[in-house]
Amino acid sequence: MQKKSVRDIELTGKRVLTRVDFNVPLSGKDPDEVIFVTDDTRINAAIPTINFLLDQGSSIILCSHLGRPKSAADLQFSMNPVSARLEQLLGRPVIKLDEVVGEKATAEAARLQPGQIILLENTRFLPGETTNDPELAGRLAELADIYVNDAFGSAHRAHASTEGAARAMRAKGGPSVAGLLMMKEIKALSQAVSRPEHPYIAILGGAKISDKIVLIESLLKVADKILIGGGMANTFIKAQGHEIGKSLVEEEAIPEAVRLLESASDKIMLPVDAIIAGEAAAAAEAAEVVVSAIPADKMILDIGLVTVQRFSGALQGAKLVVWNGPMGVFEIEQFAAGTKALATVLAGLAGQGTTVIVGGGDSAAAVSQAGLAEKMSHVSTCGGASLEFLEGRSLPGIEALDEK
Ligand code: ADP
Ligand code: MG
């Protein structure tokens, strides 16, 4: 399944509806105050595709969702701050419209000249976005000659501006293709799905096991080993029969954890020691103990040193490593050591030729925080989409694009 990209089609003089991921963090919630973008990573990530389209002589109509507004009255989720930041980053004007579709959008799109850029309002201001309303998708497609999806992070959802608009563009005879960022994500993550290199080692962490049981099961089929840390390891540690005190645990997932341990004990590697404290706080007094000695009034907040060494040992010689989920509560300095140590080991392996793919919003943040993002082979900030991709599922936003 090879999808067409912006490199495969004629773009000169065309109007290109481009779905980007401008779902960025904002400074505040009060629409009467000046709201600004606090992290422009995702806006920056869309620039290569925007510049590519402009270089080819296209005009661009950008759209994205932002946050979870209930309606168009939720002005705190307006794209205005995004427009301001985008203008700065591009060094050219952006025509920001106050609607997603409508008379104004139709008129502005019709008079758009090559080199000009429109940014539509938050697609989730309209209820038809998340219900994938064919009428909304059709009206979006009507604005342009070509549809480009560069929002990998939203590709796992069949919404009007993703799946719907791609189909609507095809229905009116226009191409629906992937943007450069979308292609980059697909290419990197595909290495772990179609014929991965071995030894292939997966590392899973983060808060919840229930989010990731399907992922564990699909990884068990393709990976040679799965190293599990973070909050999700607690449920496994309890399933092994240890007391875990006040640690984050998902009781209802214990039977599943027991079953996974019985069927794949040779592949699953769990923490043997942990950093514990009375609470997840910077001021809490921390200690390092083996997992069989967690006091009843303490909780596991990071993997211990012996575990880091064992995980590091298991990773040596790997050809491919996929990592999702921090090993501890990395947001607090004294529980960030395990995650940092692992990131350092992975950066070293990547330097020696191992393909290291990091996926997930918090995992990407942890790797950036450690200053190691550039050292990895690929870092995807798209949590849900990258996990579903790694589970081997087809994502509707990608599925709907034209085949090569
Ligand atoms: P990602 O966004 O990379 O997919 P998740 O959202 O699944 O990762 O998990 C990240 C969260 O997991 C972080 O907020 C981190 O504090 C939390 N976490 C990691 N280890 C623990 C733990 N032992 N106890 C509680 N929370 C944890
Ligand atoms: Mg997360």
Cβ of 75 less than 6 Å from ligand 1: no
CA 230 – ligand 1 centroid, Å: 6
Cβ of 363 less than 6 Å from ligand 1: yes
Closest-CA residue, ligand 1 atom 25, reads 231
Which residues are found with C-beta within 5 Å of the ion, ligand 2? 361-362
pLDDT at 296 over 80: yes
Write down the catalytic residue from 4, 384, 392, 393.
384
Direct distance between the N- and C-terminal alpha carbons of the chain, in angstroms, rounded to an integer: 8
Compute the distance between CA of residue 343 and CA of residue 327 in angstroms, rounded to an integer: 10
| Helical packing angle, 41-55 and 180-190, nearest 10° | 120
Give, for ligand 1, the residue of 235, 362, 376, 380 to mutate: max count of ligand atoms closer than 8 Å to Cβ.
Answer: 362
pLDDT, tens digit, 9 for 90 and up, residues 167-221 = 999 999 999 999 999 999 999 999 888 889 999 999 999 998 888 888 899 899 9
Cβ of 301 less than 6 Å from ligand 1: yes
**Mean pLDDT to the nearest integer, 218-246:** 96
Q: 177, 233, 164: which is closest to 205 by C-alpha?
A: 233
Ligand number with the minimum distance to the CA of 331? 1
Does the active-site annotation cover 371?
no
pLDDT at 397 over 90: yes
Say if residues 72 and 125 touch (Cβ distance below 8 Å): yes
Give the pLDDT score at 1: 65
Strands (E), 176-215: 176-178, 200-204
- Work out which ligand 1 atom sits closest to the CA atom of 332: 16
Strand order from edge to edge, sheet including 15-19: 95-96, 117-119, 59-63, 15-19, 146-149, 176-178
Ligand number with the minimum distance to the CA of 204? 1
pLDDT, tens digit, 9 for 90 and up, residues 3-41 = 999 999 999 999 999 999 999 999 988 878 889 999 998
Cβ of 329 less than 6 Å from ligand 1: yes
Say if residues 60 and 92 touch (Cβ distance below 8 Å): no
